Structure 1
Amino acid sequence: MSLLVKICGLSTRETLDVALDAGADMVGFVFFPPSPRHLSLEVGRDLGRQVKKRALKVALTVDADDATLDNIMDALSPDILQLHGKESVARLRDIKQKFGRPVMKALPIETAADLAVLPGYAVVADRILFDARPPKDATRPGGLGAPFDWHLLENLDLKLPYMVSGGLHAQNVAEALRLTRAGGVDVSSGVESAPGVKDPEMIKAFIRAARATQELSVR
């Protein structure tokens, strides 16, 4: 199975085109006001049209209510809903039924104990995204540029597709993939020159580095 590369938090036409041209499989758009990557519905609509069918569109939300999700569905028509808050298993099931889209549940990881909730979510989610647990005083649940201990996933037995995120960049993505054996990687702050400001060269370098690991594995 080919590696999935997701560039998240895109907010301009230029950087979206760079990610698409460089071969991103998924492009992520953030709808969460505390984030420096938050998009208005109008910008989301514009960027969504630009994607066409070149990659999967992912809408990142945090504990969003149905009205918010309705608006995002109308504006972006995402292929996947990424739920990055404290959504329960029941809420995931509800969202899948109401909105008819695959859901990717982000799980914050700091210790092995954090994996205890995985079986419940795995029954409902279409994909799991393992992310670093944010500090207690953080104002948002992701995009903070901190990795977690990838060794925690070394012996993971999960039939569901999963991705890793949190503190990834071009220099460490190969090690993250080697240890976690994840089927995909998700980067945001690791391809930025400042919070919320994507760097075209860093985007291209990250995708190159991630793809290089795949090429090595098939030799």
Structure 2
Amino acid sequence: MVIKICGLSTPATLDAAIAAGADMVGFVRFPRSPRHLGLERGRELSEFARGRVSRVLLVVDPTDAELDEAIEALAPEILQLHGRETPERVAEIRARTGRPVMKALGIAEAADLARAADYAGVVDRLILDAKPPRGAVLPGGNGLSFDWSLLDGLDPRLDVMLSGGLDPANVAEAIGQTRVRAVDVSSGVEARPGEKDPDKIRAFIEAARAAFAQQDRTAS
């Protein structure tokens, strides 16, 4: 059971996520995002989290040079690809960096979910996010959810993380309906775009942990 808080940008909110029991924290390298971190800021925050939690570097269609630069600065344990990376490009990045890779897929209908099979055996985990609306400048972090019932037919062998529109109020429902074992949140724990709220972070983690525990009780 994994809880990821993505788009952290200050020591205080990063500390709040770690103290509340987050399993992963995400650092965004995408200039168009309000959660984007410069290399030096990213280096400082990543060092602050070192040894306390798994650090995830989120990038969008990076070149090899951009990826090398970001990895050198942030030294993440895990990479998250949130662009249009093909299975071939994902496999190349995974082999080149020697790091586990999570790949985000935008979901709006069953046909989108069918693409998950293309990444089976290539990625370490798939992040199922809401497909951004036409004309959106961000591939994720838009605060939108998708129809969770689409996951009813998902291959149970796939390791997935649910994202998109989650917040403290609906994460328990999402876990209960989809039976996922991992969740990811960004805008749902913000006071405003790019600014995380420590109280919302704590509330989200508490709600997710309780839902995971309920899932285990039901299974047993």
User: Structures share a fold, TM > 0.5?
Assistant: yes
Q: Deviations over 1:35-92 (max 9, x none)?
A: 0000001011101111121111000010011011101110111111100000001100
Task: Count residues with an aligned counterpart.
Answer: 217
Q: Do residues 97 (structure 1) and 133 (structure 2) align?
A: no
Deviation of residue 117 (structure 1)?
1.4
Structure 2 partner of 1:29: 27
Alignment of 1:11-160 (within 5 A): 11-160=9-158
Deviation of residue 215 (structure 1)?
2.0
Structure 2 partner of 1:187: 185
Paired residue secondary structure (2:120): helix
Uncovered stretches (5+) of structure 2, i.e. residues with no partner: none
Paired residue secondary structure (1:144): coil
Indicate if the aligned counterparts of 1:154 and 1:181 stay in contact, CA closer than 8 A: no
Would you identify which runs of 4 or more consecutive aligned residues in structure 1 move more than 6 Å? none
Paired residue secondary structure (1:123): coil
Compute the TM-score of the two structures, normalised by the length of structure 1: 0.97
Measure, in 2, the Cα distance between the counterparts of 1:157 and 1:23.
Answer: 29
Indicate if the aligned counterparts of 2:80 and 2:104 stay in contact, CA closer than 8 A: yes
Q: Deviations over 1:158-194 (max 9, x none)?
A: 3131101100001100111112211100000000010
Deviation of residue 145 (structure 1)?
0.3
> Which letter maps to 2:144?
A
Measure, in 1, the Cα distance between the counterparts of 2:22 and 2:207.
Answer: 12
Indicate if the aligned counterparts of 2:176 and 2:215 stay in contact, CA closer than 8 A: no
- Alpha-carbon spacing, 1:115–1:217, altered in 2? closer, same or farther (3 Å): closer
Uncovered stretches (5+) of structure 1, i.e. residues with no partner: none
Measure, in 1, the Cα distance between the counterparts of 2:144 and 2:7.
Answer: 16
Indicate if the aligned counterparts of 1:104 and 1:127 stay in contact, CA closer than 8 A: yes
Paired residue secondary structure (1:154): helix
> Which letter maps to 2:62?
A
Quick one: percent identity of the two aligned structures? 57
Measure, in 1, the Cα distance between the counterparts of 2:143 and 2:206.
Answer: 20
CA RMSD of aligned residues (A): 0.9
Indicate if the aligned counterparts of 1:164 and 1:182 stay in contact, CA closer than 8 A: yes
